[in-house]
Structure 1
């Protein structure tokens, strides 16, 4: 599945809920399905800077695809990173770099987060794309 198709799927899922309480509950559920990072990767180097809560992300190249694992000490944040990982994991680095992230606005996520969480969201997207840039360089 392409990043765009996954993003459209996420937008469709979020549109099923009438209010933000339901959407937050859904995000918490998504957080529970997150591919959890191994303890050995829960290091300072893997913490996303700019997040109020702790978020660890690890990236590994499997063949020509980038696979992400993550964890967070906050349940909503865990849901946010789960959404991003679902969209970007198991994709080629170049596709991640080129990916549009407007689906975040389509589900209304940024406007329903506190300013610090919204900044954290931006930092998470930036970090996933930085990993993609680093691995794309290795592939070339």
Structure 2
């Protein structure tokens, strides 16, 4: 297994009222970004289902300069109905994300939980403060 020092949370930049399934995200990454698979290791749609993306032992494609040592998690959403950055996580997504992070923390106890924005301030993603919310995990 590769060394994991970061768990990076993302949003799909999908406006409220629009939907992007895990499979649609996978196809977008393959067809439009030239990836071999979805860039994330996990994807959480609005219903809270935790969808497996890339296997954990595979390097992701979700955060430049940090993919080799990280796990990428993406939640569907991140934009309000007008397309402005906003924390749009549903209650189901919040619960699933917390449960997933607790499981990953058991497996990778030293990994820091951060948002994409924390590593690339030019990005709004994931549209909430991950360090504040999950710093005590």
Q: Which has the higher contact order (CA 8 A, sep 6+)?
A: 2
TM-score by length of 1: 0.33
TM-score by length of 2: 0.34
Greater share of residues in helix: 1
Greater share of residues in strand: 2
